[in-house]
């Protein structure tokens, strides 16, 4: 399968450290506090004494690489942040960040292509930690065409967060825009704590208004409701991520699937994809 947009390499200077990095003990303490764990809780989970952990956090003991690995595993620390902690302790970073077009990530690219293709005629996109769309399937392009949005946005790539929050984007096509924008803002705000680039993007976008609508308790999920020229489409939103990633690029990727929530939406998407395929043959 050929993607409608070439998957772009993810480029980051992952070994760059702050001008004045915090000592490793203080970084571990901050991560533990963010995880809302006491010293005793973390020590029990990582298999060491509370006294030893206290000495590590205060700088009276130097953690070994094995101990750092256990602590960061139990704290579920993002791989990029783990690299910074290892550097602060005087060790080399453990995790690489290969560009997505690297030969070593060929199995990852194959898996992404398979998942995108399998999702047709339902839209699916691959996004990175900055909410940048790296690839999309045929159904996504068909949906954009159905909504009257520029098809080149799919071909050239766009930022999903900006498309949802900024005026004139995909967010303006949503029936329940206030609810979806609020959920997107809250999620991005949580993620921005570990991603300065995402934090900068979020600061440049308008903060959504708080929805005055009461949640629809009759539905088990918040639906993405899209208004188009031929009626309303309703979608369930799910995410797929790679299990047990050992590369920062791979860990940053997720696929968002927009799964039709009713038969009318399935039929509309199937028809749109068929029309698009016929047009491409002409």
For 90, residues 6+ apart whose C-beta sits below 8 A from its C-beta are none
Contact (CB, 8 A) for 172 and 163 = no
236-254: average pLDDT = 95
Answer yes or no: do 179 and 108 share one domain: yes
Q: What is the pLDDT of residues 110-169, one digit of tens each?
A: 999 999 999 999 999 999 999 999 999 999 999 988 888 877 778 778 999 999 999 988
| Structure tokens, 85 | 């902690």
Return the structure tokens found at 116.
């995108």
* Residue 200 belongs to domain with CATH number: 3.30.450.180
Does 163 lie in the same domain as 78?
Answer: no
State yes or no: cis peptide before 42, omega within 30 of 0.
no
pTM metric for this prediction: 0.82
Counting Cα atoms < 13 Å in the Cβ hemisphere of 276 gives 20
Are 194 and 235 members of one domain?
Answer: yes
Q: Which stretches within the chain are classed as H helix?
A: 24-34, 39-46, 50-58, 65-74, 79-88, 106-119, 138-147, 152-156, 160-165, 177-192, 196-204, 248-252, 263-281
Co-location of 142 and 87 in the same domain: no
Domain boundary, last residue among 95, 119, 136: 95
Domain count of the chain? 2
Residue 19 lies in domain:
1-95
pLDDT exceeds cutoff 70 at 18 = no
Between CA 117 and CA 120 the distance in angstroms is 6
CATH number of the domain that residue 40 is part of:
1.10.260.40
- Residue 276 and residue 154 share a domain: yes
Kindly give, in sequence order, each residue whose CB lies less than 8 Å from that of residue 108, ignoring residues fewer than 6 positions away.
Answer: 100, 242, 250, 253
32 with 48, same domain: the answer is yes
Domain shared by 157 and 261, yes or no: yes
Q: Do 191 and 220 share a domain, yes or no?
A: yes
Q: What pLDDT score was predicted for residue 213?
A: 62
Verify that 147 and 241 share a domain, yes or no.
yes
146, 201, 140, 207: which is closest to 173 by C-alpha?
146
Distance CA 141, CA 92 (A): 43
Domain limit, last residue, from 73, 95, 117: 95
**131/246 same-domain check:** yes
The per-residue pLDDT for range 61-116, each reduced to its tens digit, is 999 999 999 999 999 999 999 999 999 999 999 999 999 999 999 999 999 999 99
> How confident is the model over 174-206, as pLDDT tens digits?
999 999 999 999 999 999 987 889 999 999 999
Whether residue 134 is found in the same domain as residue 77? no
Looking at the fold, whether 43 and 9 belong to one and the same domain comes out as yes
The residue among 95, 122, 150 that closes a domain is: 95
């Amino acid at each position: 399968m050929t993607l409608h947009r070439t998957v772009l390499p993810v480029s980051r200077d992952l070994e760059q450290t702050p001008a004045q990095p915090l000592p490793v003990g203080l970084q571990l303490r901050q991560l533990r506090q963010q995880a809302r764990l006491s010293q005793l809780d973390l020590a029990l989970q990582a298999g060491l004494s509370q006294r030893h952990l206290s000495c590590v956090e205060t700088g009276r003991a130097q953690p070994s690489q094995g101990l750092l690995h256990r602590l960061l595993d139990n704290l579920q620390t993002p791989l990029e942040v783990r690299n910074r902690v290892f550097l602060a302790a005087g060790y080399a970073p453990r995790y690489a960040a290969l560009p997505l077009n690297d030969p070593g990530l060929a199995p990852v690219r194959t898996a992404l292509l398979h998942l995108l293709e399998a999702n047709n005629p339902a839209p699916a996109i691959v996004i990175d930690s900055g909410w940048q769309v790296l690839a999309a399937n045929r159904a996504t392009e068909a949906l954009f065409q159905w909504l009257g949005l520029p098809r080149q946005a799919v071909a050239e790539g766009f930022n999903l967060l900006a498309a949802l929050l900024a005026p004139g984007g995909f967010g303006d096509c949503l029936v329940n825009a206030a609810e979806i924008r609020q959920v997107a803002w809250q999620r991005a705000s949580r993620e921005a704590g570990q991603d300065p680039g995402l934090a900068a993007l979020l600061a440049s976008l308008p903060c959504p208004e708080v929805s005055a609508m009461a949640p629809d308790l009759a539905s088990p999920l918040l639906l993405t409701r899209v208004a188009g020229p031929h009626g309303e489409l309703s979608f369930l939103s799910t995410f797929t991520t790679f299990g047990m990633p050992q590369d920062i690029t791979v860990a940053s990727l997720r696929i968002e699937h927009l799964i039709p929530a009713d038969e009318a939406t399935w039929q509309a998407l199937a028809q749109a994809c068929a029309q698009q395929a016929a047009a491409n043959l002409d």
